[in-house]
Structure 1
Amino acid sequence: MTVIPSPSQRAPGPAVEPRAEDYRANKLFRHMTPDEVAALAPQIETLRCGKGEMIVQRRDEDGGIYLLLEGVLLANLYARSGREVGYRRIAPGGYFGEIAAIDGLPRSVNIVAVEDARLVRLPQRLVARLFEESPRFMRALLEDMATLTRALTDRLFELTAVSVACRVDIELLRMATAAGGEGDTAVIHPCPTHAELAVLVGSQREPVTRELNRLAGLNIIRQSGRTLKILDMAALADEVERIGGEL
């Protein structure tokens, strides 16, 4: 796995000013005015990374916030045994780094590119200024922190109280909801591999594969390559309730 050097370690190069349309739709700026968001362009940095690269490593001391424009990222940690623990996938429009930016402590997780990705980075000095001067920025950040806390609470409950099959179904519903959809269907693309999904639900690949095959047999999902289609969202939700989960 390749590790991207921290900002302080990267060789200096010509500044690349991102276009406003690349980042201004990020949910972190949802309460700010278009002019406020556009004014950030000269102060932020663009980054590209390839599949498998580690963008942020646990214990890094950089305090910037990163916004994802293209690609999919995974927040994870590795145990001494080598086992990978996944916390959440980050899709375009998402962001990360806010916890270290708030408390000033080192990074708490790794952020790895699941596929080629393009990001922009708000440097630590810019984030500090927004904390001081932009109540609209802080409002969005606090709302998202509350949402993240609730989501992690739900995941902790699932890991200790429901079966692997149920956790797989719940994770599929989460990804389908995030991807949007029309009526009772949704398309997840790129969908995680069975091994990646196992990391997210705290299991091994084999039981995840069994559950996906079971759902396909019930005509609830259909997978083709890196695309997974939820054919019946209501039926998937019913399966969660039936095998002991909560929505």
Structure 2
Amino acid sequence: MGATMTTVRIAFDKELVLSGHFLLKHLEKPELQRLAASARLAYFRPGAVIFQKGDPGDSMMAVIRGRVKICSHSTDGKELVLNIINKGGLFGEIALLDGEPRTADAVALEETDLLVLDRSKFVPLLNERPAVALQLITVLCKRLRQTSEHLEDTLFLEASSRFARALMRLADVFGKPAPGGLKLDIKLSQQQLGCLVGVSRESINKLLGEWQRNGVIAVESGRITLLDRHALEEIAEANG
């Protein structure tokens, strides 16, 4: 794990945090206590590297507070954002299960508190509690579907369609009701949006300007509000 990890500054009841997580809701109190005793709480500053591709896959993380970017980099330094993990989400589960090195980088987008579950303590629990294993399989299936959709978008869709789909996916996770539409409760730079979609920052800038003029979205202080989802859906389905 990255050297930037520090002790969480806010006191958390680890057992309470674990019991409230969807993955662990089937556990009995003694099992929660055992897992809580081995779990670690970690704090990361914005931009801190949590782990890098190739690092040992010895733990899984749950986001207690903040957001985490899962990304990969090409040999020439280009970044592709694979996913953004919100509060309550899991990441690092693939390496946790197979013990192989990490397949991507994880970076804190903002001040982030994590609950870290070590592989040596968690895997035996999966053998004892099939319901937990089934929940984890569901997480993996969802992640696989997201990766497949992302790949199809990148290979087959124009930049405008990909960006429209990305905004709607972000709205599904981070959208908050706002006057006239749905505001994304996450601030991403044009560069970060470009990395998420797989296009240049200049392309994102051009599309944002065009869609603002057409009343499809609004942008204020770096935050995007979806004003006309139907128009975005039409853009997402159009290709060429």
Pick from 44, 48, 73 the counterpart of residue 49 of structure 1: 44
Pick from 114, 117, 122 the counterpart of residue 112 of structure 2: 117
| Structure 1 residue 5 corresponds to structure 2 residue 3 | yes
What is the identity, as a one-letter code, of the residue corresponding to 1:233? R
Counterpart in the other structure of 2:202: 206
Counterpart in the other structure of 1:68: 63
Give the Å deviation of 1:240: 1.4
SS of structure 1 residue aligned to 2:107: strand
Alignment map for 1:1-247 (pairs within 5 Å): 4-5=2-3, 18-30=13-25, 32-33=26-27, 35=29, 38-39=32-33, 40-182=35-177, 185-241=181-237, 243-244=238-239
Distance across 2 between alignment mates of 1:43 and 1:116: 23
Give the Å deviation of 1:167: 0.7
Task: Provide the aligned length of Structure 1 versus Structure 2.
Answer: 236
Give the Å deviation of 1:25: 3.4
SS of structure 2 residue aligned to 1:142: helix
Gaps of 5+ in 2: none
Is the contact made by 2:188 and 2:223 (CA closer than 8 Å) also made in structure 1? no
Is the contact made by 2:14 and 2:39 (CA closer than 8 Å) also made in structure 1? no
What is the identity, as a one-letter code, of the residue corresponding to 1:218? N
Give the Å deviation of 1:227: 2.6
Return closer, same or farther for 1:217/1:205 CA change in 2, 3 Å cut-off.
same
Distance across 2 between alignment mates of 1:228 and 1:36: 45
Gaps of 5+ in 1: none
Deviations 1:104-160 (A, max 9, x none): 111111101111211110112221122211111111111111111111111111101
Q: Indicate the RMSD between aligned Cα atoms, in angstroms.
A: 2.7
Give the Å deviation of 1:23: 4.4
Give the Å deviation of 1:19: 4.0
Is the contact made by 1:18 and 1:46 (CA closer than 8 Å) also made in structure 2? no
What is the identity, as a one-letter code, of the residue corresponding to 1:230? L
Distance across 1 between alignment mates of 2:28 and 2:193: 37
Return closer, same or farther for 1:199/1:235 CA change in 2, 3 Å cut-off.
same
Deviations 1:199-228 (A, max 9, x none): 111111000111111221222211211432
Q: Percent identity of the aligned residues?
A: 22
Deviations 1:145-202 (A, max 9, x none): 1111111111111101111111111000001011244598322122311100101111
Give the alignment's TM-score, normalised by structure 1.
0.85
Give the Å deviation of 1:89: 1.1
Return closer, same or farther for 1:37/1:89 CA change in 2, 3 Å cut-off.
farther
Return closer, same or farther for 1:34/1:82 CA change in 2, 3 Å cut-off.
same
